[in-house]
Chain A
Amino acid sequence: MARYEVALDWVGGPSRTIDVDENETVLEASQRTGRSLPYGCRTGACGTCVGRLLAIDGTAADDDARDEEPTNVADAFAYRRTPKALKSRHRDDGYVLLCIAAPRTDCRIAVGSRVQAELVDNPWK
């Protein structure tokens, strides 16, 4: 079974790298290894576990690059189910639901509750 190195960068917090099996979701692996990511429904409907893909397979992780050319989530993860909580604009921007996503390559992801808060703006402000 293939295993991949997934680097988790908490926004405003620590970073750590975990090994994730190809049949395992990033959330499951994070729980197995001690410090869990935020999550809610575990079915891809709620978006609490959302991360933002920063880099794939050793390419330089460059947060500034995301506005220019978002990394393609489909190159990095296989979904167990449809990610209902993400709109197409979110998918295009590199957001990935870690409760239903299993890795297909080494990668680096921004994680934590602040990533969820990026999904929608306050429309009145």
Chain B
Amino acid sequence: MSDVNTPSDGEPDQDHDHAHHDHDHEGPGYATPQAAIEEGGREELAYVMSLYVGTDVDAPDFVAVVDLDPDSDTHGEILDQVELPNRGDELHHFGWNACSSSCHVEGLERRHLIVPGQRSSRIHVIDAKDRRNPELVEVIEPEEVFEHDLSAPHTVHCIPDGEILISMLGDADGELPGGFLELNDDFEIEGRWEPPGEVEMNYDYWYQPRHNVMVSSEWAAPKTYYPGFDIEDVEAGNYGQKIHFWDWEEGTVEQTIDLGEEGMIPLEVRFLHTPESTHGFVGAALSSNIFHFWWDDEGDEYRAEKVIDFESREHDDWDMPVPALPTDILISMDDRYLFGSNWLHGEVWMYDVSDPANPRRADSLSVGGTFGEVQEVQGRELAAGPQMIQLSLDGERLYWTTSLFSSWDNQFYPEEGERGSVMLKADVDPRKGTLELDEDFLVDWGECPAGPARAHEIRWPDGDCTSDVWQ
């Protein structure tokens, strides 16, 4: 099957405004995913969301700058902490003001990190021009966000012309529906991006501008997931199981696919990096499945099919079989491998997705979590399973942190709050399709000056496998 689909009728316009800049790269980012691999260089720094929400440590959350340079004396250490002005944010996901999709916009720089507080609904802008010493420069207060009847900011992507879109999981009261908030290139709220009511639930999203399509997924109302995971909410249908395909230019939902009982809580959603492709994957956390979706030319619609199952496992001390809970997925920059984390089981895994309809399990690593074979690294006991993952641009190093969400951590891994998170790394051999834990690498948030902190999403300074999109 060709990876290049050219849907018709309301879908992807292949001539969509990219021909003139394909060979005329002037703005931020890389001309193509392959250029990112070739020109990006090895990651030397990571920005990592770090938080105290959910503990008794009386300190604000912070953005950690982590040294990843193996030749540095401070390799594996937190070099800098960008402290935020308020407590209570719960830093979670974040993104750049510009990515490779803005490659045609001369003068725009991938320089500012947009850092939302998941609980506070406060949005911070950090200037990372000095990559080692980023600085907080703007704060959008929650009241300004609530004016648009939105709360609980989640995924940040740039819109190709310098604007920024943030998925918002709830209304101003923490109930449904969620929506999208748009910021302009001065980091001011432009308004609500989509006509209100296009979706009820919201979570992650990704877009393929060349095909004029965006896909979004569903968690739940903030008031449902904020306090922790309550099985009553599953029974009451308060958690999501749908993905939505949008007309990217109009901001309207064109198609919704209900993934059914095997698609409970579809979280991270990724299109392949090549801008020609309409293939992508979404991980259904609660039902422990991975779905493949793609544009079906003949049916003139998107389709989704379950392609990976993770079986629940029996544990002597647990009453019920423990689900894997795959909470994060990513696609390597060359679109060859799908990586993910099973937070409850304690596993990172990689599948060969050269044929996206038929993923082939390449390797996995059992570390941390409820069943992990490795339960400590360098004598440091692991408190939870692998959670947010990030991959080097060349696909040879997979990094992860261990916190999911403060209240969910407290429920499933209470030690996470007491010991703090770690960041670990596996060496990946993309040629052989193998993963190997690098026991020499450990970043420990348990040793932060104010007390043990949690660590969540990871970003590279110049674009990574979960933030870059191409036109």
Interface residues of A (CB under 8 A from B): 10, 13, 35-36, 38-48, 50, 81-82, 84-87, 112-113, 116-117, 119-125
Contact = CB atoms under 8 A, between A and B. Distances in A.
A40 to B, nearest CB: 3
Interface string B51-66: 0011110100000000
Contact of A116 (B173, B318, B410): B410
Contacts of B430: none
B161 interface: no
Q: Is the interface of A mostly helix, strand, loop or mixed?
A: loop
Given A41-B121, A42-B88, A113 B410 contact: yes
B119 interface: yes
A120 B227 contact: yes
Contact of A36 (B54, B55, B87): B87
B226 interface: yes
Nearest to A44: B174
Given A38-B53, A40-B90, A48-B407, A124 B120 contact: no
A14 B119 CA distance: 26
Interface of B: 53-56, 58, 87-90, 119-121, 142, 146, 151, 170, 172-175, 222-223, 226-232, 317-323, 406-407, 410-412, 414, 417
A45 B56 CA distance: 19
A111 to B, nearest CB: 9
Given A38-B53, A38-B54, A41-B226, 14 more contacts: A39-B87, A40-B53, A40-B90, A45-B174, A48-B90, A48-B226, A81-B173, A82-B173, A84-B174, A85-B174, A87-B230, A120-B230, A120-B411, A124-B320
A46 B231 CA distance: 17
B175 A84 contact: yes
Given A48-B407, A123-B320, A13 B56 contact: yes
A76 to B, nearest CB: 21
A123 B228 CA distance: 11
B89 to A, nearest CB: 8
8 contacts: A36-B58, A41-B174, A46-B174, A47-B226, A48-B226, A84-B223, A116-B410, A119-B407
A45 B170 contact: yes
A13 B418 CA distance: 14
Interface centre among B89, B228, B229, B317 (most CB of A within 10 A): B228
